[in-house]
Chains A and B, each alone.
Chain A
């Protein structure tokens, strides 16, 4: 696998990333946003939603292996986002789904509304960046055409721990040799 170049173009809240690679034949591109798997394409580009002022790290793995496992083969990461995924309500009159997030002991706040297609079975939403050492909860509330809330699906609370310790080392300067020496702490 070898991605040789990344090129990104931003238009409003949509960012398109194109990659160049050196594989031939049918190539499968696997896309990760801040370490969270987003999906697979056979085209060398991916467009994603990124609000004004937000940033994200995009990684792409290219392979000719149609059975490549994008989870087991994912790049090492401490994702500051979570992928929310749910299956549609069985109620026939769902107008939309309201996705809410709660941080620590705060109140629920709406982070997205999902409008279902008639035949859509499952939904995916990537959260915004989450703060380290904060505890988050999410719930998905089906809302009917009259505006009534249905029974929400609540996900387990999750504490985000992703910041590893800084490396522990010492630095010394030798004026005789004018060299700086970095030493790992014992």
Chain B
């Protein structure tokens, strides 16, 4: 999947050779194909609009009160549309100018949580819960931007269910705040590193089809 190559979109998370999509997405305006919504959007209804006079699109994330900066669509290309309140709540899109509408257009972008995608691997079946289960998997973090990524850290949502993180596959921990986050190596453009995850379900635990583990990443792209 192509990247808009802006700082906020420069860390690609890959599992099983495919980019992890944290949210499912439904809805757009003609001529704009959404590619990926950042996890920071959270679930809910965002909005996307096109202004033919300005030749530009704008995005507003769920629960946001402010439209993001105007993004001119001067060529068929990928663009990163930022929310006006939170620049980390972005939407990566491809624009096809021949299909853009003649008049103004606005559409709802419905975003819903996604389970079992490597980042939010948390569906617990009754069988797994009864027997107990330990699952391990890896994510590949690849730097697709043009600036060095520094101070890259990862931590878990406080509501995580038995999830642990490791940078080497040996020492695992479950940090739940940015202050205690697991520090990862700096990444130059094109570099990758492996993040190890382990989920433990104690035997006789309750099944839960609706638990969502979330990973949080923070980094500086200088």
- Report A's interface with B, CB cutoff 8 A: 37, 69-72, 78, 83, 85, 87, 90, 119, 121-122, 124, 133, 156, 158-159, 161-165
Contacts and interface: CB of A to CB of B under 8 A. Distances in A.
B204 to A, nearest CB: 11
Given A124-B26, A164-B208, A71 B96 contact: no
Contact of A90 (B26, B96, B124, B129): B96
Nearest to B94: A87
A72 B45 CA distance: 7
B125 A133 contact: yes
5 contacts: A71-B111, A121-B29, A161-B125, A164-B207, A165-B207
A164 B62 CA distance: 29
B122 to A, nearest CB: 9
A87 B21 contact: no
Interface of B: 18, 21, 24-31, 33-34, 43-45, 62-63, 96, 99, 110-112, 115-117, 123-127, 129, 206-210
Contact of A78 (B112, B124, B210): B210
Nearest to B96: A90
Given A71-B44, A71-B45, A165 B123 contact: no
Contacts of A90: 96
A70 to B, nearest CB: 6
Closest 8 interchain pairs by CB? A161-B123, A121-B30, A87-B33, A72-B44, A161-B209, A85-B26, A69-B45, A165-B207
B192 to A, nearest CB: 21
A71 B18 CA distance: 26
A156 B28 contact: no
A161 B26 contact: no
Nearest to B113: A71
Given A72-B62, A121-B31, A163 B25 contact: no
Nearest to A79: B112
A138 B93 CA distance: 22
Nearest to A68: B45
A74 to B, nearest CB: 9
A71 B31 contact: no
B110 A70 contact: yes
A37 B96 CA distance: 28
A83 B111 CA distance: 12
Contact of A156 (B18, B31, B99): B18
Contact of B43 (A71, A78, A119, A159): A71
A47 B189 CA distance: 51
A163 B209 contact: yes
A87 B62 CA distance: 22
Contacts of B123: 159, 161
Nearest to B44: A72
Contacts of B24: 83
Given A78-B209, A158-B115, A165-B206, 4 more contacts: A37-B110, A156-B21, A158-B116, A161-B124
Contacts of B99: 121
Nearest to B121: A159
Contacts of A133: 125, 127
A126 B222 CA distance: 44
B140 to A, nearest CB: 16
A36 to B, nearest CB: 10
Contact of B116 (A70, A159, A162, A165): A159
A10 B111 CA distance: 31
Contacts of A163: 126, 207, 209
